[in-house]
Structure 1
Amino acid sequence: MQYQQLGSTGSFVSRVALGTMTFAGAGKDTWDRIGGLGYDAADELVGIALDHGVNLVDTADMYAGGDCEEYLGRILRGRRDDVFLATKAYARVGTGPNDVGLSRVHLTRALEASLRRLRTDHIDLYQVHAWDHLTPVEETLATLDDAVRQGKVRYVGASNMFAWQLAKALGVSERERRERFVSLQAYYSLVGRDLDHETLPLLRDAGLGLLVYSPLAGGFLTGKFTREGATDPTARRARFDNPPVDLERGHDILDVLRTVAERHGASPAQTALAWALARPGVTSVIVGARRPDQLRDNLGAADLALTTRDLAELDAVSEPRARYPQWALDGAYPQRTPAGA
């Protein structure tokens, strides 16, 4: 396993991380379709990941209604120090008016509940799951800052934010001298490169890490899907169609992905993950699985080195269309270079 600095912090996380969205939730509709794994199956997956050198394990208080954190807390007994533990808060976790969002009241309660379920005295990376349009970001950041000062949180991160929201939060942290976000957890894949437009340049400029979720586009990039349909009807994406994919373009990308994978004797999934890991600004890719063989295959991406040719082919077929103002800048306003460069 390889490790990389988390943003501009002094801490290192594994380049392949374990996502736990498949843990627990049996019989709970959405969670059952995503995974619904029992305790023993979840315990086996965590063991495989840790044995392969994974140290970043990601969860959220909303997964399986809190049962996912409960599982993880039990599983990590005796192994907590081997893990850089990340969780998230924002989603509704109760029926009350303050059981959702990023207010001081909800965040404080949510953190205490996560600590209790995870059976730990601290969270290594506490992430806000989305932007709260009702709560001033100053209130949210002050609450997170308090949690760090109390020793209950080591670092704070964000997830699912527009670039302008993240930039605003970073500016407030600097102005108010609060803890700043050290990372963004976001969707990014060969068939979903929206981050290229605004977010990735911001992350690189501000020194934040990028933790990629759904790097296989919910299973679309595993090779189990053809233009005729799913080759495996039990595949997660066959039951839970998310994230959205432009299928016509997606299958063109899959054609190239399969070619590159065959060149290395690798699986399409490993190759798609290796492409994501090679992208500038990507810290880790978060993989989830329902079976040990799926997880072992995904973990193999850490050892797959794609060539310049491989990356060029994959970049070309997946290149997102330029958005304004990029298309206005291209050609008409070339980038300046220092004199003599």
Structure 2
Amino acid sequence: MEYTQLGRTGLKVSRLVLGTMNFGPVTDEADSHTIMDAALGAGVNLFDTANVYGWGENKGRTEEILGSWFAQGGDRREKVVLATKVYGNMAGDGVPWPNQDKLSALNIRRAVEGSLKRLGTDYIDLYQFHHIDRTTPWDEIWQAVDVLIQQGKILYAGSSNFAGWNIAQANEAARRRSSYGLVSEQCLYNLAERRAEMEVIPAAQAYGLGVIPWSPLHGGLLGGVIRKEREGGAKRGVSGRSADALKNAKQREQIQAYEDLVDKHGVQPGDVALGWLLTRPGVTGPIVGPRTTEQLDSALRAVELELSDELLASLDEIFPGPGPSPEAFAW
């Protein structure tokens, strides 16, 4: 497994990130443990979760599954760079009680204690703001984070789903306080969705943040969806974002061109989508959310894949990016 530094930190992290969103809602505890053992055995050391994963009445369940895995020992916790998130409402569904969500100092304090308990650990390596909070001042957020760092409960703070100017605002506020600021950004970024290249990734690079793309296959759209549709029936592997995109003739034509291209080069669509992200400037590593060990094995193969200049150029032709800013904004 190849490793890199997480942004401007001293943390060495794997270039593939294990996402745990499916642990609990889709994959049961025993199989989740098996997947985590396989990932760790393959050298994957950055595990990503969130306090709300498990969803609905089972919010927090995913963190609990990680906690029960850590409890098995074998230096599991010591080997993992653990990332979780704060923002979502952890109260019961439909309970309109204030201060149970977002980034107030009170909720950050409550949320980190809840995550530590569920995870069965006394510290979190990377504590991420799941979304921007437009109502809480950054001075309050950084004051709360600084206290947690001083207490040893978290090491670093990161963001998720931030705009480029949110990253700048957050880190300028941190600089005024002599706080460390954000060290990473999780964003939607893949071959079919490249808008992050306009402002988010340049902002992250300017402030020394590692970029951790989520949805690298764009909800399955880049995973050979047309082939699956053709081989296994109209409903196989086609749902959500993929199904909506394939209803659009232009997007369907684009995806067909993509699948034809990778077939020509003798590689798998999902492997190419992950491999492409690993060639992008500023990217630390994409998040994969395997539901099975077979899906994890596929993702691990992608890390070893080397894409030719010819293939990369052809991918740009099929999925042209917005181009560098500010030229990308010109008429």
TM-score after normalising by structure 2: 0.89
- Tell me the CA shift for residue 75 of structure 1: 1.1
What is the 5 A alignment of 1:86-97? Answer: 86-94=83-91, 95=95, 96-97=97-98
Ranges in structure 2 where 5+ consecutive residues have no aligned partner: none
Decide which of 60, 65, 71 is 1:71's aligned counterpart: 65
Aligned residue number for residue 78 of structure 2: 81
In structure 2, do the counterparts of structure 1 residues 227 and 68 end up closer, same or farther at CA, with 3 Å as the change threshold? closer
Query: Does the Cα contact within 8 Å between 1:257 and 1:272 map onto a contact in 2?
Result: no
- Tell me the CA shift for residue 266 of structure 1: 2.6
Aligned residue number for residue 300 of structure 2: 299
1:40 maps onto 2:30 in alignment? yes
Query: Does the Cα contact within 8 Å between 2:195 and 2:322 map onto a contact in 1?
Result: no
- Tell me the CA shift for residue 206 of structure 1: 1.6
Aligned residue number for residue 2 of structure 1: 2
Aligned residue number for residue 169 of structure 1: 170
Work out the CA distance in 1 between the residues paired with 2:232 and 2:157.
40
Matched residue type, 2:259:
R
Work out the CA distance in 2 between the residues paired with 1:218 and 1:325.
29
What is the 5 A alignment of 1:81-230? Answer: 81-94=78-91, 95=95, 96-225=97-226
- Tell me the CA shift for residue 249 of structure 1: 4.5
Matched residue type, 1:120:
T
Query: Does the Cα contact within 8 Å between 1:7 and 1:183 map onto a contact in 2?
Result: yes
Counting matched residue pairs gives 318
- Tell me the CA shift for residue 226 of structure 1: 5.7
- Tell me the CA shift for residue 224 of structure 1: 2.5
1:49 maps onto 2:39 in alignment? yes
Secondary structure of 2:152's counterpart equals coil
Ranges in structure 1 where 5+ consecutive residues have no aligned partner: 26-35, 331-341
Query: CA-to-partner distance for each residue in 1:197-218, whole Å, 9 max, x for gaps?
Result: 1111111222110001110111
Matched residue type, 2:85:
K
Query: CA-to-partner distance for each residue in 1:13-50, whole Å, 9 max, x for gaps?
Result: 1101110000113xxxxxxxxxx211111111111111
Work out the CA distance in 2 between the residues paired with 1:67 and 1:328.
43
- Tell me the CA shift for residue 320 of structure 1: 3.5
Query: Does the Cα contact within 8 Å between 1:126 and 1:156 map onto a contact in 2?
Result: yes
Work out the CA distance in 1 between the residues paired with 2:231 and 2:149.
46
Work out the CA distance in 2 between the residues paired with 1:205 and 1:243.
37
Considering only aligned residues, what root-mean-square deviation do their CA atoms show, in Å?
A: 2.3
Work out the CA distance in 2 between the residues paired with 1:53 and 1:243.
34
TM-score after normalising by structure 1: 0.87
- Tell me the CA shift for residue 152 of structure 1: 0.6
Query: Does the Cα contact within 8 Å between 1:256 and 1:313 map onto a contact in 2?
Result: no
- Tell me the CA shift for residue 12 of structure 1: 1.1
Work out the CA distance in 1 between the residues paired with 2:214 and 2:170.
21
Work out the CA distance in 2 between the residues paired with 1:266 and 1:223.
11
What is the 5 A alignment of 1:181-330? Answer: 181-225=182-226, 231=232, 233=235, 235=237, 238=239, 240-241=240-241, 245=245, 247-321=248-322, 326-327=327-328
Matched residue type, 2:320:
E
In structure 2, do the counterparts of structure 1 residues 137 and 244 end up closer, same or farther at CA, with 3 Å as the change threshold? farther
Query: Does the Cα contact within 8 Å between 1:21 and 1:59 map onto a contact in 2?
Result: yes
